[in-house]
Amino acid sequence: MILAEKWELIERFLPQLWDGTLVTLQLVGLAVLIGLFVAIPLGLARASRHWYIRALPYSYIFFFRGTPLLLQLFLVYYGISQFQAVRDSFLWPYLREPFWCALITMTMHTAAYIAEILRGAIQAVPPGEVEAARALGMSKRQALQHIILPRAIRIGLPAYGNEVILMLKASAVVYTVTMMDIMGVIRTINSRTYEYELFFMVAGVMYLIITLVFTQLFRLVERWLKVDASRQSR
């Protein structure tokens, strides 16, 4: 009886909950994809033997790993919008929108973590394989392209999958800049229904389901890339 009422209440808000899920998926999906592309040069530079190449990505990673995502989001959204120069610039049509601010911040944040994963993975490629590639006459670039990066991607993939799930959960802060993601929708529903326990539980279940889907997807990709096999052959 009571349970039926609660379900009816959830059903009433299903369209909003679905919209919120789409916003969350969009933000996280785009951020971890673009973040990966930003992270590749960062991670490569970070693994360099020369300090002057390492320095810039090091500071970038140091800043984005060392400060909370919420703070970075506020800096991007409320901070830089206070400067008239920013508001007059060609960037304002983008920075004006909470979606772009959230996407930019999340991408820069996750890129720092992915770069660090990539650095670890590159350094974990067995030196013998790199030497073998060079001995076969591959140039440095060829070795990077055909041996080091494909190996590093397999080594780093499980950690990347983990980072995607961390970003999914971290994305819950974007409601503070008026985004209607899962948390934004849930908090707006709460402010009307006062069914806090119920809808926070609903939010928890939604995040869990998305996490489940993500982990299964990454398991498939890992199987497809034979991550296990490459590990055994070491």
Partner 1 sequence: MKQYKKVLLAIATALFMSAPAFAETLRIGTEGAYPPFNLIDSSGEVVGFDLDIAHALCEEMKVDCTVVTSDWDGIIPALNNNKFDFLVASMSITDERKQAVDFTNPYYTNKLQFVAPKKSDFKTDEASLKGKTIGAQRATIAGQWLEDNMADVIEIRLYDTQENAYLDMNSGRIDGVLADNFVQYEWLQSEAGSNFEFKGEPVFDNDQIGIAVRKDDPLRERLNTALQAIIDNGSYENINAKYFPFSIY
Interface with partner 1 by CB under 8 A: which residues?
78, 81-82, 87, 96, 98, 175-176, 178, 184, 187-188, 190-194, 196
Q: How far is the CB of 102 from partner 1 (least distance, A)?
A: 13
> What is the C-alpha separation between 129 and 109, in angstroms, rounded?
32
Question: Toward partner 1, which CB reaches closer, 82 or 233?
Answer: 82
Question: Toward partner 1, which CB reaches closer, 54 or 187?
Answer: 187
Structure tokens at 167: 């970003």
Q: How far is the CB of 33 from partner 1 (least distance, A)?
A: 27
Q: How far is the CB of 76 from partner 1 (least distance, A)?
A: 12
- 146 to each of 127, 138, 153, 172, how far by Cα in Å? 14, 9, 11, 38
The answer to whether 95 and 81 are in contact (CB under 8 A) is yes
> What is the C-alpha separation between 166 and 116, in angstroms, rounded?
15
Question: Toward partner 1, which CB reaches closer, 188 or 215?
Answer: 188
Q: How far is the CB of 87 from partner 1 (least distance, A)?
A: 6
Question: Toward partner 1, which CB reaches closer, 47 or 69?
Answer: 69
